[in-house]
Amino acid sequence: QSYAPTHRRARAHTRALRRHVTMSTKQRPRPTHRSPSSTATRSTSASAHSRRDASTSAGVLTVPTHLKRGIAAGSIAGMTTQLLLFPLSTFKTRMQVKPLGRAFRAADCFQLYSGLVPELMGTVPGTALFMGTYESAKKSFRLDPGIAAACGALAASVVLAPMELISRRMQVRRTPFRLAVAASVRAKGGLFVGFGSFLARELPFDMIQMSAFEWMKSTMERKNGQKLRARDTAVLGGLAGSFTGLVTTPFDVSRTASVCSKSLGLDTTKSMGDVSRLMFRGAIPRMVEIGLGGIVYFSCIQATLRLFDEKEKGKAKSKDKVPKI
């Protein structure tokens, strides 16, 4: 009698132990057998992801990113420069169109912001197109700064040329914006009269300025062994602008003569003999305008691009952080 309960308890214990072993065997994960091809594919994808993450953290940017950065920097720089220095542009233009033999009058120093509205309408999108194209061509396609600047000038010319024509006629004649637009549209050649003289000035100007700026910047950085400060970059931009403004003054006079020939008393379609006497008219105010404009322009460009760089670095750091478990 005493043996039966003990025997039943032993058999119950044995059955419980078997059930436990069976359950643990079912819950154990089965070993996966990977083929060599699947292992190689996984390692290749992992290395591709690691390279992509490394390139992102290293700051390798795409063409749309360069385009976006250039458009933002160019629009801010163009608007700031025009708002500050447009009176110098008006003074220079009136000096260039002054008829031969007439002295400069005090009235020429008034209404110096006449023509600012069309100038801004052309400069803000035009400079944005220029810098967007320039940054993309130089950094994404590895083009020479001079070639990249020429591409940017061609892209911006579609917007800049007609708006500059209206602005210069307002500067000279002091007419309201609406009347200047109507007169320019009805005139022979429309808003693109003198487009050849515009390209003849803009292409060499942008190519010389950006090539000189990039050369001076790379030379100074190589000499100092570090990146230039924002102040030094702005000074180099001013020097490049002053030099370029001086050597391209004849092209600027030719552009002014082509759109304001009646004010000059010239017929530029027949002879350039009279224009040759005016080739360096307004060279001093043009040098001052573009020199100061270079300082303001490149300061805004570098400040805007620096903000984008800091934003990209912040994104890269946030991706590299591993959450604690």
Q: 259-296, pLDDT tens digit by residue?
A: 886 555 444 444 445 555 678 888 999 999 999 999 99
Asked if the model's pLDDT at residue 61 lies above 80, the reply is no
Strands, E assignment, the chain:
none
Q: For position 310, what pLDDT does the model report?
A: 87
Q: What span, in angstroms and rounded, lies between the C-alpha atoms of 182 and 91?
A: 24
- 137-144: list long-range contacts, CB under 8 Å, 24+ apart: 139/61, 139/66, 140/61, 140/62, 140/63, 140/66, 144/211
Q: Evaluate if residue 1 carries a pLDDT over 60.
A: no
Q: Count of alpha carbons within 13 Å of 217, Cβ hemisphere only?
A: 22
Q: Which of 239, 259, 240, 251 is nearest to 282 (CA)?
A: 251
Distance CA 158, CA 160 (A): 6
Average pLDDT, the chain: 81
State yes or no: pLDDT of 49 exceeds 50.
no
Residue 4, amino acid: A
- pLDDT at 22 (0 to 100): 63
Residue that wins the pLDDT comparison between 96 and 17: 96
Q: Provide CB contacts within 8 A for 34, sequence distance 6+.
A: none
pLDDT at 322 over 90: no
pLDDT at residue 25 in the model: 56
The model's pLDDT over 67-121, given as tens digits with 9 standing for 90+, comes to: 888 899 999 999 999 999 999 999 999 888 877 667 777 777 888 999 999 999 9
Residue 51's pLDDT band, with cuts at 50, 70 and 90, is very low
Q: What is the distance between the alpha carbons of residues 286 and 292, in angstroms, rounded to a whole number?
A: 10
Name the pLDDT band for 199 (thresholds 50, 70, 90): very high
**Which of 167, 170, 139, 254 has the alpha carbon at shortest distance from 204?**
254
Measured CA to CA, the distance from residue 292 to residue 312 in angstroms comes to 31
What's the DSSP call for residue 31? P
Answer whether 124's CB lies under 8 Å from 71's CB: no
- Weakest mean pLDDT among 122-136, 233-247, 277-291: 277-291
Cα distance between residue 95 and residue 89, in whole Å = 10
Mean pLDDT of 46-58: 44
* Model pLDDT, residue 99: 73
Angstrom distance (rounded) from CA 288 to CA 241: 9
The mean pLDDT value for 22-38 works out to: 54
Q: What is the C-alpha radius of gyration for the chain, rounded to an integer number of angstroms?
A: 34
Alpha-carbon span 86 to 296, nearest angstrom: 13
Q: Which long-range contacts (CB under 8 A, 24 or more apart) does 264-267 make?
A: 264/96, 264/97, 264/99, 264/100, 265/99, 265/100
More confident residue, 263 or 9: 9
pTM above 0.85, yes or no: no
Q: Which pLDDT does position 164 carry in this prediction?
A: 94
